[in-house]
Structure 1
């Protein structure tokens, strides 16, 4: 039988998602003794048998741990931000867990009394990250995974909000916002003409991207009547998959809701398809699963999702002055965006 596993090196239009990106903040490294002291309140009188740092995240610090005398594994999540981020993620987990696979929060400490940062103990979910899986499976298996991710995202977007904005710890709209023409052009102009993004892109790219932004910004003027829960970091490094027992794939966990907010669904679609060339097989199956799962797409959704994701790309580029690998990857993504849509 022909081997259809994708072992070839990435081609010109394919590269590994966020490969080599610098962390936004150093990983919080703890000794076994420090981990035992931290977890004493969650596991009184018990000790850690196994601890492994999970290096996939770029902001918070995560460990896989196992306690003596117990086969069950846990995730220790140490937050870089304040307690509100922990509370928001915990509230989202409670909200969606009946229809979206997410780790349950088993213990939290936001007091910073025993440790200078908020932290949480979460249940461990088996599975493989999409970013790792997609380089080793067949095209058929990848298509099944893409469709499963689309269906899962549709369930995320089924949670409605009457307004768009940043969420507080109780999922209230803390900071209202709109992704419309005025917001888009204002942010793009600030980033390109006055921000670090323009400097890193250089004058030629900046002029071409600014022209593209002005030409297409009107597509964002139409706003949805109801907004959705948006993960805002829905990509291959934050979703776990496993075989479903019937020859396909299932999503076993959607991770890291730190940046979640209420907004238009195209933000998440653009994020997941960020590294995909236009019309890719993965993208087609992902969108098919999204629609089958109840997701609704507007006209010209593909370009609109690219414009929505461009805000994220520029925001990331504005903060990449001291992160050359991240900056180079973002510039390459913008080069492809210009080649396909300018």
Structure 2
């Protein structure tokens, strides 16, 4: 069990959770779970085994607008009852007597989480092949939402998404970088030159990958897609690009990315793109831009994780300290994607 004493006032939180009237019976035990390097996730288990999940921002000093758990609460609440598989929302704790930061509380979703390569190897070969397609289907459900109907039309800007992303994440790099990285600066310039310009305005999850879904352990259908802190409005192909960025396959340059998708039987990136085109009906010719942008963003996110870990070692998790080469490898991989597209 991981220490939660610095992330939660467990006594005060236990009393607050019991006030939700969801049937929790004391005592309530708390455990930090998952490998998340951003918002921290906890499991609360009561005396009869009922479970709830909580998320709070990371410890230490945060960049402005980052790790907005209250915003994540708004998004998940808006998606209740839609075709998008998400956990049931129970509440948002903003009581200063309980917590110094907002804490999101949702239902525990039964299923499998592919947190380790061994989890992927344990899947039936047919399930391995299916899970990527189910994740793509989940993205198409997100992208099909009527923004006005779910009340999220004002969630973010409707201006061209590529330019917004390049501007925002360049600022994040400037604020969180630990060193100069000319190859990243050159990648930023290459991406700006390939920006496809205005596109559809849809809900975009922003962090779609295997570790952010709970699946049926037998058939591998997605039961819930998690971690909505990067959700925004923009071009739906950005989510496909993010999925590809997190989807290494045999023959790729070496990176420290989670490599479950390299296990025999998993769909290839080409198969995922073809499936998305088929089920969504969208033109996917600009996918290389979004794929490379996803790798660029992932590199910047990891640099931010490195900065937080250097500033406050309490943000270390089971993955340990993120090395500089993890960022460098992703930048190199993004250049390869653009080279192949050229």
TM-score normalized by the length of structure 2:
0.71
* Alignment-derived partner of residue 51 in structure 1: 30
Greater RCO, 1 or 2 (C-alpha within 8 Å, sep 6+): 1
Q: Is the 8 A contact 1:101 1:254 kept in 2?
A: yes
Q: 1:261 deviation in Å?
A: 0.5
Deviation track 1:180-222 (CA, whole Å, cap 9, x = no partner) reads: 45973x6787788x67659353x4x35xx61x54445343243
* Alignment-derived partner of residue 56 in structure 2: 78
Q: Is the 8 A contact 1:219 1:304 kept in 2?
A: no
For the residues of structure 1 that align with 2:52 and 2:169, how far apart are their CA atoms?
41
- State whether structure 2 residue 234 is matched by structure 1 residue 252: no
- State whether structure 2 residue 113 is matched by structure 1 residue 129: yes
Q: Is the 8 A contact 2:69 2:229 kept in 1?
A: yes
- State whether structure 2 residue 314 is matched by structure 1 residue 335: no
Unaligned runs of 5+ in 2: 251-261, 310-320
- Out of 160, 169, 178, the residue aligned to residue 160 of structure 2 is 178
Q: 1:322 deviation in Å?
A: 5.7
Q: Is the 8 A contact 2:94 2:101 kept in 1?
A: yes
For the residues of structure 2 that align with 1:45 and 1:278, how far apart are their CA atoms?
44
- Out of 83, 90, 93, the residue aligned to residue 99 of structure 1 is 83
Residues 200 and 218 of structure 1: CA distance in aligned 2, closer, same or farther (over 3 Å): closer
For the residues of structure 2 that align with 1:196 and 1:120, how far apart are their CA atoms?
25
* Alignment-derived partner of residue 154 in structure 1: 140
For the residues of structure 2 that align with 1:91 and 1:141, how far apart are their CA atoms?
29
Q: Aligned runs of 1:135-284 on 2, under 5 Å?
A: 135-160=121-146, 172-174=154-156, 177-180=159-162, 184=166, 197=177, 199-201=179-181, 203=182, 205-206=183-184, 210=186, 212-215=187-190, 217-224=192-199, 226-243=200-217, 248-277=219-248, 281-284=267-270
Q: Is the 8 A contact 2:203 2:234 kept in 1?
A: yes
- Out of 50, 54, 62, the residue aligned to residue 41 of structure 2 is 62
* Alignment-derived partner of residue 5 in structure 1: none
The structure whose residues are more often strand, as a share, is 1
For the residues of structure 2 that align with 1:79 and 1:135, how far apart are their CA atoms?
32
Residues 315 and 135 of structure 1: CA distance in aligned 2, closer, same or farther (over 3 Å): same
SS of residue matched to 2:192:
helix
| RMSD of aligned Cα (Å) | 3.8
For the residues of structure 2 that align with 1:317 and 1:84, how far apart are their CA atoms?
19
SS of residue matched to 1:108:
strand
Q: 1:232 deviation in Å?
A: 1.0
* Alignment-derived partner of residue 20 in structure 1: none
For the residues of structure 2 that align with 1:97 and 1:243, how far apart are their CA atoms?
23
Rg larger in 1 or in 2? 1
Deviation track 1:148-174 (CA, whole Å, cap 9, x = no partner) reads: 111111111112559xxxxxx966245
Residues 331 and 136 of structure 1: CA distance in aligned 2, closer, same or farther (over 3 Å): farther
* Alignment-derived partner of residue 21 in structure 1: none
Unaligned runs of 5+ in 1: 1-25, 163-168
For the residues of structure 1 that align with 2:7 and 2:132, how far apart are their CA atoms?
33
Q: 1:79 deviation in Å?
A: 4.4
Q: Is the 8 A contact 2:55 2:69 kept in 1?
A: no
**How many residues get paired?**
299
Deviation track 1:243-284 (CA, whole Å, cap 9, x = no partner) reads: 45xxx3200111121221101122222222214347983423
For the residues of structure 2 that align with 1:235 and 1:34, how far apart are their CA atoms?
34
* Alignment-derived partner of residue 15 in structure 2: 37
For the residues of structure 1 that align with 2:229 and 2:169, how far apart are their CA atoms?
24
Residues 292 and 63 of structure 1: CA distance in aligned 2, closer, same or farther (over 3 Å): same
Residues 242 and 295 of structure 1: CA distance in aligned 2, closer, same or farther (over 3 Å): farther
Deviation track 1:43-87 (CA, whole Å, cap 9, x = no partner) reads: 59941344332133223332222323x443221333458996325
